[in-house]
Structure 1
């Protein structure tokens, strides 16, 4: 009977098991006791603005001509007998057919020859053409216009009204401006994340954060890829809570006290108030600020981290209000030792009760037979 009760049913490890496991050399996770300082540091690390990842300054003016742009050149001349005059009535203009900028960054203008235009402004190209024609044309005046701005574009795709290449306009081109030019998002902002890819670097933030935080509305650059991704965020709760569930949330910033409230809070009869655990993967560089000996447990340089919150500490509820829940977090609430004792007692009584009842029945039968 006793041996049958040695394994007590449980929804997960005890707080003591988690704590002792973290002390072993081969532990596949790092345990971090959450203080207010730890919560504040985690909040700052999660709030890294795009201006830090990509920089906040514009790389170059979108008015610069690039390879692949289509350029139109119009030439006026102050003489009816000039190279570019329109005829007998005198002063006129000649329009050179629009032409794409070659791989070498040049276009061809009659009598001016090959003209370098790549990475130059239309005004600079205009001055060069006028100078080249000054010995052949009479007071030439040139107008250079970019008909198709193919080199200064960004790609917008995903959950937008109209995916495609968006040309950058002269002046200030910011992330929200480009998304609006593409017709805006096709669904509510709380359901979306915005991914920006520039070269080999990619960052993703919630759409709501992009809207609410001016720091995130960075300058876009040529060849950026902007993707709106439908990304419902959720967390999972197991253990001694009033409900075990996977919960989706719309808030751009969800705190641990709000997350626990969504499942009805802790189960008073079972929960260990010192054993609130949050399971998450974090970059090793960030974890080493809390645990200097931490080392990567995954090939991508991340570490399995278990954050522990102690609600027996009077300041624990302040920590709940400052600890941000991330997408796909797993929150586990360990059972209290008293709950384990109750389970053991229940198993004992369940096992012993039939024996006692059987003994009583046997005694009654003996009494009747006598």
Structure 2
């Protein structure tokens, strides 16, 4: 259990606002012009003489077009007379230099053009609630996340119902679609082999206890604060609620919890800890904390009953138990009076 002070609320807000560029270790674009395994490559060679190595009776221009070939699993292509050329990780300009160097002394002042006609390795996968799932080739100048989603035809439903999940290697991060639209920091450059999934994920929280309404409430806001969440259910019940007992239940990463409780240990296989946040509205700062405490998807909010409410329950129980006995005694007395 963590008592929420202003410093705790500030810490939570800071951790929850971490942009994708920080989560993935940088928002820089990476070059997608480097050749990878599976790319389809063509090589054209010109010579300064019509009687050069690559000239023939049908080709009097001193140029030769090497047929298209895929980059092999070991990262190479084959060029006649130049042999096996390692191309993976190199740009077409760098491969051009390699081939020209190997043809020196055999071809007459060779000039080479290397072209990637199918960029199969520098792609991202877009799937989920988009108009057209599939592989999206990356442009040499780099593609941002929103550009890739737009290339896939855009989302198939309203943005407030969607979350965007990015998987890069063994790591995944998920943000609301509205957050991606509204915050330029989240529109990061994608990288080769990223998997981008649009997930239908209506967000909700549950409230029970001494509130005006006990319910599971869906919300569309990209950022919902606890004061807004309580307002959606009519606030606290004045006759029953304990203003010192507003609790929010959720799981948090152990790294975050240790900033508040240094001895915290993981409780689940994913490294999370069960946390109960307590907010005291009797404190002057309590309502300011409500305005800064964000509600997460699937949060559970519980409003405790006041001690007076428990006394009233007990009194009601006693009165409902005693009343039939008293009424019965009164009836019996009346019967005795009549018989006398």
TM-score in terms of structure 2 length: 0.95
1:253 has 2:237 as partner? no
Q: Is the deviation greater in 177-186 or in 349-358?
A: 177-186
Q: Which one scores higher on RCO, CA 8 angstroms, separation ≥ 6?
A: 1
Which residue of 63, 67, 86 corresponds with 1:97? 67
Is contact 1:106–1:114 with CA below 8 Å preserved after alignment? yes
Is contact 2:124–2:135 with CA below 8 Å preserved after alignment? yes
Residue 107 of structure 2 corresponds to 137
1:334-349 to structure 2, matched below 5 A, reads 334-349=304-319
Residue 178 of structure 2 corresponds to 208
**How far has the Cα of 1:353 moved from its partner?**
0.9
Residue 116 of structure 1 corresponds to 86
Residue 118 of structure 2 corresponds to 148
Q: Which runs of 4+ in 1 moved over 6 A?
A: none
**How far has the Cα of 1:40 moved from its partner?**
1.0
Is contact 2:29–2:142 with CA below 8 Å preserved after alignment? no
Q: Is the deviation greater in 100-109 or in 56-65?
A: 56-65
- CA offset digits 1:95-124 (Å, max 9, x no partner): 111001112211111222222211111111
**How far has the Cα of 1:295 moved from its partner?**
2.4
Q: Is the deviation greater in 109-118 or in 144-153?
A: 109-118
1:274 has 2:227 as partner? no
- CA offset digits 1:69-106 (Å, max 9, x no partner): 11001122233333334647842532111001112211
**Change in CA separation of 1:87 and 1:193 when aligned onto 2, cut-off 3 Å:** same
Is contact 1:69–1:150 with CA below 8 Å preserved after alignment? yes
1:353 has 2:328 as partner? no
**How far has the Cα of 1:60 moved from its partner?**
4.2
CA distance in 1, matches of 2:101, 2:270: 57
Is contact 1:198–1:225 with CA below 8 Å preserved after alignment? yes
Is contact 1:86–1:94 with CA below 8 Å preserved after alignment? no
Residue 267 of structure 2 corresponds to 297
Q: What secondary structure is seen at the aligned counterpart in 1 of 2:221?
A: coil
Is contact 1:58–1:220 with CA below 8 Å preserved after alignment? no
1:18-33 to structure 2, matched below 5 A, reads 31-33=1-3
Q: Is the deviation greater in 309-318 or in 130-139?
A: 130-139
Residue 177 of structure 1 corresponds to 147
Q: What secondary structure is seen at the aligned counterpart in 1 of 2:157?
A: coil
Provide structure 2 residue ranges, at least 5 long, that are not aligned to the other structure.
Answer: none
Aligned residues: 340
**Change in CA separation of 1:211 and 1:59 when aligned onto 2, cut-off 3 Å:** closer
- CA offset digits 1:226-252 (Å, max 9, x no partner): 111111110000011111000011111
CA distance in 1, matches of 2:53, 2:239: 97
**How far has the Cα of 1:153 moved from its partner?**
1.2
CA distance in 2, matches of 1:119, 1:94: 25
- CA offset digits 1:33-87 (Å, max 9, x no partner): 1111111111111112212221225474211111111100112223333333464
Residue 16 of structure 1 corresponds to none
CA distance in 1, matches of 2:26, 2:270: 27
**How far has the Cα of 1:173 moved from its partner?**
2.0
**How far has the Cα of 1:278 moved from its partner?**
0.7
Which residue of 28, 37, 45 corresponds with 2:15? 45
Residue 13 of structure 1 corresponds to none
**How far has the Cα of 1:131 moved from its partner?**
2.5
Q: Is the deviation greater in 340-349 or in 173-182?
A: 173-182
Is contact 1:56–1:219 with CA below 8 Å preserved after alignment? no
**Change in CA separation of 1:162 and 1:86 when aligned onto 2, cut-off 3 Å:** farther
Q: What secondary structure is seen at the aligned counterpart in 2 of 1:320?
A: helix
**How far has the Cα of 1:285 moved from its partner?**
1.9
Q: What secondary structure is seen at the aligned counterpart in 2 of 1:37?
A: helix
Q: What secondary structure is seen at the aligned counterpart in 1 of 2:304?
A: strand
CA distance in 2, matches of 1:89, 1:150: 31
Provide structure 1 residue ranges, at least 5 long, that are not aligned to the other structure.
Answer: 1-30
CA distance in 2, matches of 1:56, 1:212: 19
